[in-house]
Structure 1
Amino acid sequence: MLISPALNAALREARFDGDAPLDASGVRRARAAADAVPAADRRVCGADERCAGTAEALGLRSEPEPSLRGWDLGRWSGQRLAEVSEAEPEAVSDWLSGPSAAPHGGESLLDLCTRVGGWLDSLHRDGAGDGRVIAVVEPAVVRAAIVHALGLPPQAFWRLDVAPLTLTELSGRSGRWNLRCGRSLSTGTVAP
């Protein structure tokens, strides 16, 4: 089970995250959603501040999982998409259209999907798939897991939307996953 983290200022500003923590609104929304989190035998989170902060606000005692860290976007981290698109239009175009492109100096889309897919496959290979695992991870990691689990072409990654504080469930086993997408954990309206 994968939970996408609450919003933070960087996402509201359409920035490549850059490992920014939750803001007060994100913490409030995550705390309000805590009762909707399903039980799990093992709890992990991406090694990013936003994921760790969301896990904490949800009341999940989780361990950081390095394989589930956010997408490494190299020198673009912390910048606004609009700024990067204006300064490097060809690089952004290459990045969006070429799964192996990494003009920012970080991970390519293929690298991200391979890393996340390796973790997903390890759940059963290492015997950890016998129980329910819940992971609080960045939306890009959720999308990469879906692409891997369903054997989708990498370009499908760009067609998947993952809203904040939603639960995506993958059940089954490596090579034969079932998907339940984007159930909201929100239990009501919370002031921003």
Structure 2
Amino acid sequence: MTSRVTLISPALTAALREARFDDGGCELDAAGERLARSAAARLPDADRSAASPSARCRRTAEALGLSAPQVPALAALDVGRWRGRTLAEVTSAEPDAVASWLGDPTHAPHGGESVRDLCDRVGAWLDGIGRTAGRVIAVVEPDVVRALLVRALSLPEPAFWRLDVRPLTAVDLSGRAGRWNFQVGTPLGEAP
């Protein structure tokens, strides 16, 4: 039994453009919504869909024509008191905390969730998906894509920071719980 998971990162928003720790309420800009609508015809057929609970993921899913229920397990990394601030602001105010956060996947100086916690949470979701056949399309935050790749490929957790996820791109996983293969970064603006 083979499971297929297509992870789609949300279209561009002001928060993504500013490297801001979003609170989940940032909507798509007009260009991002237009690009998502134009990509809808190029999505593979799916048996199920899902979305991170953020506004940008829900709106991207809608623009792609998906009826994707919100899945709390696919929420973005909880960055606690850093929410709403830019990375530059936080780095200026708390350089040691940011360095520790970037260097230690178990550290959460912001009072939220550690990278390890995120990887564990989304990895449990992936394990569940891996027990059923068919394709799932999930519109998820870029950090969720990175965490899922870390767990699916059994990468060391510091690799989380080495994976770049561009807006409105797809990552395809296939396999089953415990053994996944992947194809990274299929632009939705081109035929697969």
TM-score surpassing 0.5?
yes
4+ aligned runs moved over 3 Å, structure 1: none
Q: CA deviation at 1:32?
A: 1.5
The answer to whether the 8 A contact 2:27-2:55 is kept is yes
RMSD in angstroms over aligned alpha carbons?
A: 1.2
Q: Deviations over 1:60-100 (max 9, x none)?
A: 11111110011111111111110100000000000000101
Indicate which of 62, 68, 77 corresponds to 1:56.
62
The gaps in structure 2 that reach 5 residues or longer are 1-5
1:100 aligns with 2:106: yes
Give the % identical residues: 60
Q: CA deviation at 1:187?
A: 4.3
1:177 aligns with 2:183: no
User: After superposition, where does 1:8-157 map in structure 2 within 5 Å?
Assistant: 8-19=13-24, 20-125=26-131, 129-157=132-160
The one-letter code of the counterpart of 2:78 is D
Q: CA deviation at 1:109?
A: 0.3
The answer to whether the 8 A contact 1:32-1:187 is kept is no
1:168 aligns with 2:174: no
1:5 aligns with 2:7: no
Distance in 1 (alpha carbons) for counterparts of 2:13 and 2:174:
29
The gaps in structure 1 that reach 5 residues or longer are none
Task: Give TM-score scaled by structure 1 length.
Answer: 0.93
Query: Secondary structure in 2 aligned to 1:167?
Result: strand
- The residue aligned with 2:3 is none
Q: Deviations over 1:100-149 (max 9, x none)?
A: 11011111000000000000001134xxx211111000010000000000
Distance in 1 (alpha carbons) for counterparts of 2:190 and 2:162:
27
Aligned length: 185
